[in-house]
Amino acid sequence: MNLSYRIYHVFVRNLISYKRFVLTTFLVSLVQPLFYLITFGIGMGAYMTGAFGGKSYLHFLVPGVIVSSVMMSATFECLYGTFVKMIHERLYDALVATPVSAEDAVAGDIAWASFRGLISGSLMLLVAAVMGILPVSPASVVLLVLVMLITGVMFGSLGMIVTSLAPNFDFFNYYTELVITPMLFFSGVFFPLDNFPAWMKTLAQFLPLTHAVAISRAAFSGVFTSGLLLNFAVVLVLVTIAFYFGIRRMKKRLIK
């Protein structure tokens, strides 16, 4: 891994280019999760009173929707965003001819994807706050930001692995439809995993989003159990593996 502080230079490049897209992406980042909150949270939630410890369904839903919006933003950034830069704009070719290494360039884009995820998640947090749903304390806001950043790096890195293998845009459909969408339903975002058969619960433990959702939910409920440490440990292990392979695979594609 030939990583250096130049990751930051790549991040700044993305930040400068972002100002041209900032409005549209803000809108896109907001609309889908907002749609979930309104339809599931308010519409469906009305039929589920009393099921969530006396609180409304929205209280259950918000922490999950926040991290899943981080997942979506980071994923799309490292799929379509990176693919365009790599194949259509040939920007990576120009980058690696400077002292920026291929590893720096890819890591810079993962860092950027994580930041984009943080923006999406924070926008959701803002909407939730307006609806009266807030993390329990300033410390749990810090925890939430941390889990959003880690989730961003996680799905940015996984996206890089997919992009490193992609011959064209269509290839991304397999990943989004077969991995990301199911992840959304099996990670306890919309409903608790309690009523799943045992094997499904076991399967869910291997999904990175499950653990991110659990941590996010603790930040809102204020219930910190020892299980949370396990969630953190799993997320950190998975993010390390994903980051390592994301960069390695991409380097293989970029440097021939």
Partner 1 sequence: MSTLVSAHALTKKYGTFTAVDGIDFEISEGECFGFLGPNGAGKTTTVRMIHCVSPVTSGTLIVDGLPASVNNRALKKKTGVIPQEITLDIDLTVYENLVVFARFFDIPKREARARIAELLKFVELEAKRDSKIDQLSTGMKRRLLIARALLNRPKLIIADEPTTGLDPQARHLIWQRLRQLKTQGVTLILTTQYMEEAQQLCDRLVVMYQGKILKAGEPRGLIESEIGKDVAEIRVPADQDARLIADLSPFACGHERVGDTLYFYSRDGHDLRKRLVELDLPNTVHRPATLEDVFLKLTGRSLIE
The backbone torsions φ and ψ at residue 101, rounded to the nearest 5 degrees and listed phi first, read -85, 165
Nearer to partner 1, 57 or 92 (CB): 92
The single-letter DSSP state of residue 146 is: H
Instruction: Report the site for partner 1 in 8-67 (rule: CB under 8 A).
Output: 9, 12-13, 16-17, 20
Nearest to 189 by CA among 43, 40, 27: 40
**What tokens were used for 92?**
């990576």
Q: Give the binding range for partner 1 (CB under 8 A) out of 6-14, 133-141, 224-232, 234-242.
A: 6-14
Nearer to partner 1, 23 or 97 (CB): 97
Longest Cα separation, the chain: 61
Q: Quick check: 91 binds partner 1 (CB under 8 A)?
A: yes
Nearer to partner 1, 198 or 256 (CB): 256
Q: Given its phi and psi angles, is residue 31 left (phi above 0), alpha (psi -120 to 50 degrees) or beta?
A: alpha
Q: Quick check: 86 binds partner 1 (CB under 8 A)?
A: no
**What tokens were used for 215?**
């941590």
Q: Dump the DSSP string for 192-203.
A: -STTS-HHHHHH
Nearest to 12 by CA among 94, 158, 115: 115
Distance of alpha carbon 248 from alpha carbon 222, whole angstroms: 38
Q: Quick check: 99 binds partner 1 (CB under 8 A)?
A: yes
Distance of alpha carbon 128 from alpha carbon 78, whole angstroms: 27
Q: Quick check: 6 binds partner 1 (CB under 8 A)?
A: yes
Q: Where are the alpha helices (DSSP H) in 54-137?
A: 57-76, 82-83, 91-96, 102-130
Q: How far is the CB of 113 from partner 1 (least distance, A)?
A: 16
Instruction: Report the site for partner 1 in 190-249 (rule: CB under 8 A).
Output: none
Q: How far is the CB of 91 from partner 1 (least distance, A)?
A: 6
Site track for partner 1 across 124-163, x = CB under 8 A: ----------------------------------------
Q: Quick check: 255 binds partner 1 (CB under 8 A)?
A: yes
Nearest to 82 by CA among 144, 202, 3, 165: 165
**Of the candidate residues 56, 68, 69, 101, the single one contacting partner 1 (CB under 8 A):** 101
Query: What three-state secondary structure class fits 55?
Result: strand
Q: How far is the CB of 15 from partner 1 (least distance, A)?
A: 10
**Of the candidate residues 93, 165, 169, 200, the single one contacting partner 1 (CB under 8 A):** 93
**Of the candidate residues 27, 43, 90, 223, the single one contacting partner 1 (CB under 8 A):** 90
Q: How far is the CB of 251 from partner 1 (least distance, A)?
A: 9
Please report, as ranges, the residues that interact with partner 1 according to CB under 8 A: 2, 4, 6, 9, 12-13, 16-17, 20, 89-91, 93-102, 255-256
